[in-house]
Chain A
Amino acid sequence: MVSGIFAVLLFAIGIYCILATHNLIRVLIGIEILIKGVTLLVIAAGLKSGNLGLAQALVITIIVIEVVIMTVAVGVVLGVHRLTGSLDARNIRKLKG
């Protein structure tokens, strides 16, 4: 119950970070915090339902997906920086092939 509330708070912090910033690295940090909220919620749900084994397996899957997303996103951020010379998300509004 308490963990659920704090997971929602982490989710809110992540969403706020993504919405309020223009820096691409901060957007990725916001996504990371969102995923941390989800991780906490999955483990709390597993503990509550008595199915902690499944919850842990799901968390491991989430972490693997998280790492891959971050690696590719970091590559994209570096590419954007190479092209525009900054990390401002407003510079990539006009996406052209």
Chain B
Amino acid sequence: MQDVALIRNGDQKAFETCFNHYWPSLYSFALKILGNSADAKDVVQQVFISIWARRDKLNITTSLESYLHQAVKYQSIKKLQEIINRPEDLEHVQEFILPVLNDIWQKMETADIFKQIDHQLDKLPGKTKEIFMLSRKQQLSISEIAGRLNISEKTVRNQLHIALKALRHHIAVAVVMSQLMS
């Protein structure tokens, strides 16, 4: 908080010390988001110039570090939008930025499917769910499950059938997804 007070008082030396101190993490962060040095420099530069211009009205409730981190994050997203709209950067976007976003998007979709499967499982009767879990998650055979729960193999088979029928759609999607991703 000491730094913020000094900057608010117009202490340029303290301001530059802060810049030098936070430069490595902020610059490498913006560089990773944007993928090119000129834009990353621009973002960090803008953040600091704007802080200096508003220094007397500066209201930092958290630490200076997290304030700078937030500011660089927000300005980088704005810059990313600019880059995506720049025709000369199209190749860079397609080669370096889109694949990363796509990768995250797909992982999110997969996570979604598994969440839906769990949700469907919860709707099944307790016994059916238990048998399904033993079969799929612990990989037990039908006879092992029958032995462990002390029921007939036929019952096990029937219950599994009911469970699979309820989950059929979601599992099909998960299988397709996992094939797409491998």
Q: Do A and B come from one complex?
A: no
